[in-house]
A and B are shown apart, each in its own frame.
Chain A
Amino acid sequence: DQQVKQNSPSLSVQEGRISILNCDYTNSMFDYFLWYKKYPAEGPTFLISISSIKDKNEDGRFTVFLNKSAKHLSLHIVPSQPGDSAVYFCAAQPSGGSYIPTFGRGTSLIVHP
Chain B
Amino acid sequence: ETGVTQSPTHLIKTRGQQVTLRCSSQSGHNTVSWYQQALGQGPQFIFQYYREEENGRGNFPPRFSGLQFPNYSSELNVNALELDDSALYLCASSLDGTRSIEQYFGPGTRLTVT
Question: Which A residues contact B (CB, under 8 angstroms)?
Answer: 4, 6, 32, 34, 36, 41-46, 49, 89, 91, 93, 97-106
Q: A98-B48, A98-B56 are in contact. Are A49 and B102 (CB under 8 A)?
A: yes
Q: Complex formed: what's the CA distance from A41 to B106 in Å?
A: 10
A97 touches B90 (CB 8 A): no
Q: Complex formed: what's the CA distance from A6 to B42 in Å?
A: 10
B102 touches A46 (CB 8 A): yes
Interface flag for B58 (CB, 8 Å): yes
Q: A41-B107, A43-B92, A43-B107 are in contact. Are A97 and B101 (CB under 8 A)?
A: no
Number of interface residues of B (CB under 8 A): 27
Closest 3 CB pairs of A and B: A98-B56, A43-B105, A103-B42
Chain A min CB distance to B49 (Å): 11
Q: Complex formed: what's the CA distance from A102 to B43 in Å?
A: 8
Contact of B45 among A6, A32, A100 (CB under 8 A): A100
Interface flag for B98 (CB, 8 Å): yes
- Inter-chain contacts of A97 with B (CB < 8 A): 56, 98
B90 touches A43 (CB 8 A): yes
B58: nearest chain-A partner, CB-CB: A100
A39: nearest chain-B partner, CB-CB: B107
A99 touches B101 (CB 8 A): yes
A105 touches B55 (CB 8 A): no
- Inter-chain contacts of B56 with A (CB < 8 A): 97-100
Contact of A4 among B42, B90, B104, B105 (CB under 8 A): B42
Contact of B42 among A41, A45, A89, A100 (CB under 8 A): A89
A43 touches B4 (CB 8 A): yes
Chain B min CB distance to A40 (Å): 10
Chain A min CB distance to B101 (Å): 6
- Inter-chain contacts of A34 with B (CB < 8 A): 101-102
- Inter-chain contacts of B42 with A (CB < 8 A): 4, 6, 89, 91, 103-106
Q: Complex formed: what's the CA distance from A1 to B32 in Å?
A: 26
Q: A89-B43, A103-B42 are in contact. Are A44 and B98 (CB under 8 A)?
A: no
